[in-house]
């Protein structure tokens, strides 16, 4: 008897890594009609990228090998122009303005789960789009209809809900995340079982388009102005290379003696980098933040809202109270938080359930 899922077509975003490869393998095993799609992005001219970079030439070759091993078709789509405009240019614009953006959040919002989904739906007639993200998609029944939510994955160390807060419940209906119930170790074991050559491939840790050095990339593309590095008493300890190259709480890369020093303040008006040795008693630790561009997965939340908030990937979620003032939201933490960074994302949870998130102002 033919599997009832045989006519359901799923486009899998293959990146040349073990996660997307196993996601495709699991879906094929479940009886779906699987097609692979490799996204080609923008890279700086003349840059050389390591073997574990997603979207590189080597990643494309590895994605083709995965598709061949699984017996599925794979297509390459060039989103370089859109990626440059929506992700890279916005990344540089925010850095130039003194913010610390998260390009992976932007890419998920505009490229993977908008542009790519529209493409595979139109070109391939796909019923679903699947990725190798570590996140659980669940169906919740209510009185009117079924709605969808996102939960943290089984592997809490690899959980990627933080990057997906811009999704809507209506979008989740068409998305599949096959790895939500697996740990990374289990995924590698499955890749070996499926005889996929990428089973031992290292994870990509850096932003895909910046090359080997985040610092060098910013120096190349930003307009930078050097200035004094001072302590909280106003004493000069050295020169910074441009305030956009530093972030609150940063310790390494300051290149001044007498440390350890931590970045306590970035004063753009006076072009000063303020450092301190006593990080716990300085502005590095704060009890509240203001955020904007909020997205709630299931529609607006009733405020005030008691929940937990996470201010960076893999940081601890802390109890907080969310209130609203005009178009902006105030988040008050029960305990002070280290290095709240403007431009980064603050993401809200109810236990393991992802509620939404926004951009720190």
Please, what is the Cα angle at 82 between 76 and 87, to 5 degrees? 110
Catalytic amino acids?
107, 208
- Residue 126 CA to residue 121 CA, distance in Å, equals 5
C-alpha closest to that of 320 among 281, 355, 272: 355
| Cβ atoms 153, 137 nearer than 8 A | no
3-state class (DSSP) for residue 350: strand
Beta-bridge partner residues of 262 = 276
Distances (CA, A) of 248 to 183, 268, 283: 32, 13, 9
258 dihedral zone (left: phi>0; alpha: psi -120 to 50; beta)? left
> Which ranges constitute the DSSP H helices of 97-183?
103-107, 117-123, 169-172
Q: Estimate the crossing angle of helix 18-29 against helix 184-193, to 10 degrees.
A: 60
């Amino acid at each position: 008897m033919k599997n009832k899922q045989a006519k359901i077509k799923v486009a899998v975003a293959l990146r040349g890594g073990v996660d997307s490869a196993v996601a495709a393998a699991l879906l094929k095993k479940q009886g779906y009609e699987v097609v692979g799609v490799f996204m080609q992005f923008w890279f700086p001219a003349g840059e050389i990228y390591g073997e574990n970079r997603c979207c590189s030439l080597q990643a494309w070759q590895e994605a083709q090998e995965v598709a061949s091993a699984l017996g599925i078709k794979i297509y390459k789509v060039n989103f370089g122009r859109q990626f440059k405009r929506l992700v890279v240019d916005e990344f540089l614009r925010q850095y130039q303005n003194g913010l610390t953006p998260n390009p992976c959040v932007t890419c998920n919002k505009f490229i993977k789960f908008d542009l790519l989904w529209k493409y595979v739906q139109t070109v391939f007639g796909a019923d679903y789009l699947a990725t190798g993200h570590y996140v659980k998609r669940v169906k919740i029944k209510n009185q009117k209809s079924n709605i969808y939510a996102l939960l943290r994955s089984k592997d809490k160390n690899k959980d990627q809900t933080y990057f997906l807060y811009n999704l809507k419940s209506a979008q989740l209906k068409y998305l599949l995340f096959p790895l939500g119930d697996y740990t990374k170790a289990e995924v590698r074991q499955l890749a070996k079982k499926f005889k996929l050559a990428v089973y031992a491939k290292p994870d990509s840790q850096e932003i895909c388009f910046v090359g080997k050095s985040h610092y060098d990339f910013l120096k190349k593309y930003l307009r930078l102005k050097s200035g004094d590095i001072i302590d909280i008493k106003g004493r000069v300890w050295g020169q910074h290379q441009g305030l956009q190259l530093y972030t609150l709480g940063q310790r390494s890369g300051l290149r001044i003696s007498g440390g350890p020093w931590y970045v306590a303040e970035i004063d753009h008006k006076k072009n000063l980098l303020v450092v301190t040795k006593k990080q716990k008693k300085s502005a590095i630790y704060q009890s509240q933040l203001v955020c904007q561009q909020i997205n709630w997965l299931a529609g607006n939340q009733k405020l005030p809202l008691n929940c937990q908030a996470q201010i960076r990937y893999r940081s601890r979620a802390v109890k907080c109270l969310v209130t609203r003032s005009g178009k902006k939201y105030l988040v008050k933490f029960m305990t002070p938080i280290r290095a709240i960074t403007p431009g980064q994302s603050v993401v809200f949870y109810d236990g393991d359930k992802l509620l939404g998130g926004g951009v720190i102002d």
